[in-house]
Every structure is written in C-alpha cells, then in structure tokens.
C-alpha cells in the first residue's frame, strides 16, 4: 500500500532537518578553515618581519632605474609625479609584512584612490617606505603615517604608512 501524504510529509521534514544539520556542520567547518587561513597568513607576515628590507633596491614602477636627476618627481598636469619609486621586484618577493592593499581613503575628502600593484606591494613589504601619497580627488600628495591623512579602504581603520 502506498505511503500516506502525512507519512511522506513527515519523511520530508526528517530529511530537511538532517540537511540543516549538515549545512550547520559545513558552515562550522568553513568558519574553522577561515580561522586557520587567517592564522597562517598572520604567522607568515610575522615571520617575514625578520627579513630585513634592503631599501637600496629601488626602481620606478615601470621597472626602470631611479633617475639621479630626480626628474621622476616632476608633476604632471593631474598632480601626479612622472614616476614613482618602488622597492625592486626581487626585494618585494622576499615577503610581505602587511596584506597587499591597493585602495585607500583620503580622510579629509573621502575619496578612494587605487594605486598600482608595485606600489601596493612596496607598502606591504615596508609600510614606512613612503612619506606621502596621492589623492585622486584632491589631485595632490599628502602625508602618510600615524599623523597622515589616509586610511586603508578595507575596514581595518589602519593608517596608510604604519
């Protein structure tokens, strides 16, 4: 004799309850995995702090040598420099001490500026490498660091250059 509709509904309810338990367990496993990845990243960043930064290994963002005549700091019409100094690709590859973050907020005007990957990696390798950075909203450079005017656009509240 076929099962009654009530019996089928009861079986469906049991299966849904079992699926919910598996989903809860999967969420817990994903959360645990995320915590492990966060801890691994933190441990890696901490270990990289022991690797000294060689600030003499510098290029411009395009990989060319830093000009002795400092012509790269001449400003273009938009207020940006003709070229920006970064740590060399080899120096950046030695390991980051902070996450790589490409965007920051100018605390004064609220504009988000996104920088090139090589500048972002330089900040990640040596957070105090720069004394200032550019705001694309204001079209000018302003200080970074503890007393600087920029905060990373990642919700951390961390000041750029610290």
Distance CA 124, CA 126 (A): 6
CB 87 within 8 A of CB 117: no
CB 69 within 8 A of CB 75: no
pLDDT digits (tens, 9 = 90+) for 123-146: 999 999 999 999 999 999 999 999
Q: Tokens 């270990």 correspond to what residue?
A: 47
% of the chain exceeding 90 in pLDDT: 83
Q: Is the pLDDT of residue 1 over 70?
A: no
Parse the chain into domains and list their residue ranges.
1-50, 58-152
Q: Is the pLDDT of residue 57 over 90?
A: yes
Mean pLDDT of the residues in the chain: 94
11 CB burial (10 A radius; 0-12, 13-18, 19+): exposed
% of the chain exceeding 70 in pLDDT: 99
pLDDT digits (tens, 9 = 90+) for 4-31: 999 999 999 999 999 999 999 999 999 9
According to the model, what pLDDT value does residue 125 have? 96
CB 142 within 8 A of CB 148: yes
Q: Is the pLDDT of residue 148 over 90?
A: yes
């Amino acid at each position: 004799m076929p099962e009654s509709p009530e019996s089928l509904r009861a079986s469906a309810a049991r299966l849904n309850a079992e699926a919910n338990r598996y989903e809860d367990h999967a969420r817990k496993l994903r959360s645990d995995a995320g915590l492990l990845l966060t801890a691994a990243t933190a441990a890696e960043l901490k270990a990289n702090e022991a690797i000294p930064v060689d600030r003499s290994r510098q290029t411009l963002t395009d990989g060319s040598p830093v000009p002795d005549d400092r012509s790269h700091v001449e400003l273009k019409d938009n207020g940006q420099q003709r070229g920006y100094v970064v740590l060399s690709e080899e120096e950046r590859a030695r390991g980051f001490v902070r996450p790589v973050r490409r965007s920051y907020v100018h605390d004064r005007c609220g504009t988000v500026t996104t920088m090139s990957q090589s500048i972002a990696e330089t900040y990640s390798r040596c957070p105090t490498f720069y004394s200032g950075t550019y705001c694309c909203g204001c079209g000018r450079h302003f200080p970074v660091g503890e007393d600087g005017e920029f905060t990373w656009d990642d919700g951390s509240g961390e000041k750029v250059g610290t």
